Structure 1
Amino acid sequence: MRIGQTSIVNFLSQIATSVFGFVVTVYLARELGDAVLGNYFLVVSVLVWLKVLGGQGIQMAIRKRVSEGESEGAFFGAGLAVQLAAFVVLAGGVLVFREPLNEYLRTDAAFGLLALLATGLLLWQVRAALEGRHRVALSSLLGPFDRTARGALQIGVVAVGFGTVGWLLGGYVVAELLTGLIGLSLLAIRPRLPTREQLRSLLEYAKYSWFSGIESRTFASMDTLVLAIPAFAISSGQIGVYEVAWNLASVLAVFGASVSTTLFPAISELSSAGEDGIEGLIDDAVAYSGLFVIPGLVGCAVVGRRVLAIYGAEFTRGYTILLVLVAARLLYVYQSQFTNVLAAIDRPDSAFRVNVTFVATNLVLNVALVALVGWLGAAVATATSATVGLVLSYWYLRQYVTIPIPVGELASQVLAAVAMGAVVFVARGFAGAGVAWTVALVAVGGGAYFATLTVLSRRFRATVRRNLPAVG
Structure 2
Amino acid sequence: MSAGEADFGLEISRGVLAKFAMAAIGFAGSIVFARVLGPSGYGAFYIVVTLVNVLDNPVTGWGSACKKRISETGFPIAEALGSGLLGAVILPLGMLPAVYLIVIFTDLYALSGLFVPFSVLFSAVCFFAVTNRILSARSNFAAAEWSDTLRSFFTTPLQLVFILLGFEAAGMVYGLTIATALSIPYVLYRIHIRPVLPTRESLASITSYARYSIPNGFISTTQSRFDILLLGALLTSSAVGEYQVSMQLTLAGTFIGAVASKGLMARVSDYWSRNEHDAVINDVTNSLGYASVLAIPIFFGVAAMPNDLLVTVFGSQYAGGGLVLVGLALFRVVKMQSSQLQSTMAGLNRPDITMRIGLVVLILNVGLGYALLLEYGVFGVVVATILSEVIRYATLSYTIKQHLPAVTLFAKPLRQQLLAGVTMFILIDWLHMTNGVSWWGELLVLIGLGGITYFATLIVISKSFRLTVKGVVSDALAG
Assess same fold via TM > 0.5: yes
Give the counterpart of 1:313 among 313, 316, 330: 316
- In structure 2, the partner of 1:224 is 228
User: What is the aligned counterpart of 2:218 among 211, 214, 220?
Assistant: 214
Measure how far apart 1:398 and its partner are.
Answer: 1.6
- Matching residue of 2:259: 258
Q: What displacement does 1:283 show?
A: 0.9
Opposite residue 341 of structure 2, the aligned amino acid is F
Matched, 1:338 2:341: yes
SS of the aligned residue for 1:138 comes to helix
- How many Å apart are 1:421 and its aligned residue? 1.1
Q: Deviations over 1:81-131 (max 9, x none)?
A: 233222111111122233346552366111111111111010111112212
Check the 8 A contact 1:123/1:176 in 2, yes or no.
yes
Question: In the TM superposition, what is the alpha-carbon distance from 1:170 to its structure 2 partner?
Answer: 0.7
Q: 1:76 to 1:106 in 2, by over 3 A?
A: closer
Hey, what does 1:348 align to over in structure 2?
Answer: 351
Residue 84 (structure 2) aligns with = 79
Q: Give the Cα–Cα distance (whole angstroms) in 1 for the partners of residues 420 and 49 of structure 2.
A: 36
The residue that corresponds to 2:205 in the other structure is: 201
In 1: Cα distance, 2:219 partner to 2:334 partner? 14
2-structure distance, mates of 1:291, 1:266: 21
In 2, Cα distance between the equivalents of 1:250 and 1:55? Answer: 25
Q: Which runs of 5+ in 2 are unaligned?
A: 1-5
CA contact (8 A) 2:162 2:174 kept: no
2:397 touches 2:409 (CA, 8 Å); kept in 1?
Answer: no
Asked if 2 retains the 8 angstrom alpha-carbon contact of 1:252 and 1:293, the reply is yes
**C-alpha separation in 2, matches of 1:426 and 1:377:** 29
Distance 1:101 1:12, change over 3 A: farther
Measured against aligned partners, the alpha-carbon deviations of 1:12-38 in whole angstroms (never above 9, x if no partner) come to 110121122221111111112111111
Would you say the 8 A contact 1:102–1:110 is kept in 2? no
Q: Percent identity among equivalent residues?
A: 25
Work out the CA distance in 1 between the residues paired with 2:437 and 2:45. Answer: 33
Is 1:304 matched with 2:309? no
CA RMSD of aligned residues (A): 1.9
Contact 1:55-1:121 within 8 A present in 2 as well? yes
Say if 1:420 and 1:445, in contact at 8 Å, map to a contact too: yes
Q: In 2 relative to 1, CA 422–163 (structure 1 residues): closer, same or farther, beyond 3 Å?
A: farther
Match of 1:445 among 450, 459, 475: 450
Matched, 1:293 2:298: no
Deviations 1:49-101 (A, max 9, x none): 1112x312111101111122421111221232233222111111122233346
Which stretches of structure 1, 4 residues or longer, exceed 4 Å deviation after superposition?
100-103
Question: 1:188 aligns to what?
Answer: 192
Give me the whole-angstrom Cα distance separating, in 2, the residues matched to 1:405 and 1:388.
15
Q: Alpha-carbon deviations, 1:286-315, whole Å to 9, x = none? A: 100110111111110112212111101121
- Give TM-score scaled by structure 2 length: 0.93
Letter of the structure 1 residue corresponding to residue 198 of structure 2:
P
* Alignment counterpart, residue 70 of structure 2, candidates 56, 63, 66: 66
Question: For 2:446 and 2:403, how far apart are their aligned partners in 1?
Answer: 45
Find out whether 1:374 has 2:393 as its counterpart. Answer: no
Who is 1:12 aligned against?
Answer: 17
**Gap change, CA 1:77 and 1:161, over 3 Å in 2:** closer
**Take 2:24 and 2:253, find their aligned partners in 1: how far apart are those partners?**
11
Of 456-465 and 160-169, more deviation after overlay is shown by: 160-169
Q: Show structure 1 runs of 5+ residues with no match.
A: none
Counterpart residue type for residue 251 of structure 2 = S
Taking a change above 3 Å as real, the CA distance of residues 59 and 254 of structure 1, as seen in their structure-2 partners, is: same
Aligned CA distance change for structure 1 residues 92 and 283 (closer, same or farther; 3 Å): same
AA aligned opposite 2:426: A
Deviation by residue 1:158-206 (Cα, 9 ceiling, x = unmatched): 3x34251111111011000001122123321122122212111101101
Q: Which residue of 2 aligns with 1:272?
A: 273
Q: How does 1:81-160 map to 2 (within 5 A)?
A: 81-100=86-105, 102=107, 104-105=109-110, 108-158=113-163, 160=164
Conserved in 2, the CA contact under 8 Å of 1:211 and 1:356? no
Aligned-pair CA distance for 1:2: 8.1
The letter of the residue matching 2:40 is A
Q: Spell out, residue by residue over 1:261-294, the C-alpha distance to the aligned partner (whole angstroms, 9 max, x if none).
A: 1222221110111113111011101100110111
Contact kept? 1:65, 1:132, Cα under 8 Å:
no
TM-score of the aligned structures, taking structure 1 as reference length: 0.94
1:413-452 aligned within 5 A: 413-428=417-432, 429-430=434-435, 432-452=437-457
- Does the residue aligned with 1:359 lie in a helix, a strand or coil? helix
DSSP-derived class of the 2:293 partner: coil
Does the 8 Å CA contact 1:287/1:409 hold for their aligned counterparts? yes
Letter in 1 for 2:324: I
Residue equivalent to 1:43: 48
* d(CA) in 2 for partners of 1:368, 1:299: 30
Answer yes or no: is the 8 Å Cα contact 2:289–2:412 preserved in 1.
no
| Distance in 2 between residues matched to 1:346 and 1:295, nearest whole Å | 34
